[in-house]
Amino acid sequence: MLTPYKTTSLLHLQEGNYPSLVPFTIALLFIVCLFITRPLPGAQGPMEALPSNPAEPRAPHMMLSPKKLDLSLPASRLKRIVQEDQRTTENLLNVDAKKKTESEKNPDDDQRWSSFLPIWAEAAKKRGHELPLPCGISANYFYANRDIDVDSVDLVIRNVPLNLDRLATARVKSKEMNWAMRFDAWVLPFMSLYLVGGYTRQHSDVDFDINTLRGPSLPGLIPNQVGIDLDVDGVTYGGGVTLAVGSKTYFFVLDTNYTISDLEGDLGRRNTFDQQVDALLVSPRLGWRGKISNIQSNIWIGGTYWGISQTVDGQAQVPLLGRVDFEVDESPSDPFSYHLGTHIEFTKHLNFVCDIGSNFSDMFSVTPSLMFRF
């Protein structure tokens, strides 16, 4: 059974007499507003704005559980707590920014003493050129055998100069080995300068034909043919320049170097001689650059002009003739050769280079090299 109040209220609702609910409605709305505006437990102030980009990481202080401040503490104590929290937040932000910078830093951008090399490197990189590390040290081995022409033979016997060009001809077969260290630096994106220095050994088989117009040799007289084995060794030093142009796939290289070899030999019986070899080598190469089994490689074909001049001079004590001074000028029989080579980059620091050359007649050479770049 309904009470009169409730009966009256229902009648009022049915009759559309709503003004009697106004006080009740206002009170209900007031209670709802108080509940909505009440701060959540543990909140210490207005909510901080979220990042505009959902993928953007939040600041460290946003990820930490907030401190619960006791509002009953003195104002000075509360201020000190807030300041300590701010300093902690700033330190965390600085550490996070430092880690992010270090993770995004490119190892190739590390400052080195050679960071200024090559000059105009940035311009070349903007054009899409991939540059090697600017400096390199390599250990080289060189082996070659070739025929040598004797251009002239001069003797001085008892202060009388003699030229044997018309009286004798000579054939020389030479074998040469060289161990050298090379230092190079890319001064410009297309130009490298280098220095070389090392040790050279050379063995020569010399066959002289003496007085070929005289006829057959006679017993006890000077024979028509004389064979001599000469061994010399000494230091080699010099330098050169390499010019390179090309794209990511093909390249053209022109290498020019000049070296001097100061060699000494022994003729026996305390007779020694000196040999100086001046060599100007010019080598054009045309090649391809790409990856083979994920290893950066370069393959080229080319040629070499061997501008070599050798001078052998010394003195010997000859029975009956006494002291004999001599000087022999030599040059390669064929100064041109054809070459095939490769440059394998195991890493940006460790490279291997090998070049093989021949003129398909009387000359063969091979030059392996192990290189460290930095």
Residue 294 DSSP symbol:
T
Question: In this structure, what token pair is assigned to residue 15?
Answer: 């009759």
Structural domain boundaries of the chain? 138-373
> pTM for this one?
0.67
H helix runs in the chain, sequence order:
4-15, 22-37, 60-63, 75-104, 121-126
Residue 171 confidence (pLDDT): 84
CB contact at 8 A, 283 and 303: yes
Residue 6 confidence (pLDDT): 43
94 φ, ψ to 5°?
A: -65, -45
CA distance 146 to 302: 19
User: If the chain, 374 residues long, is cut into consecutive pieces of 10 residues, what is the mean pLDDT of each piece?
Assistant: 42 44 60 56 46 47 49 65 72 67 52 71 78 94 95 88 82 95 96 98 85 51 68 97 92 98 85 92 97 94 96 84 87 96 96 98 97 96
Residue 259 confidence (pLDDT): 98
Supply the DSSP string of 213-280, one letter for each residue. Answer: TS-S--TTS--SEEEEEEEEEEEEEEEEEEEEEE-SSEEEEEEEEEEEEEEEEEEETTEEEEEEEEEE
Question: In this structure, what token pair is assigned to residue 256?
Answer: 């020019």
Residue 336 confidence (pLDDT): 97
CB contact at 8 A, 351 and 139: no
CB contact at 8 A, 292 and 280: no
CB neighbourhood size of 108 (10 A): 9
For 46, residues 6+ apart whose C-beta sits below 8 A from its C-beta are none
CB contact at 8 A, 269 and 324: no
Measured CA to CA in angstroms, residue 253 lies from 79, 113, 121, 200, 328 at distances of 72, 27, 18, 27, 35
Please tell me the number of Cα atoms within 13 Å of 311 on its side-chain side. Answer: 7
Residue 243 confidence (pLDDT): 97
Architecture category of domain 138-373 in CATH: Beta Barrel (2.40)
Where do we find the tokens 């070599």? 308
CB contact at 8 A, 66 and 44: yes
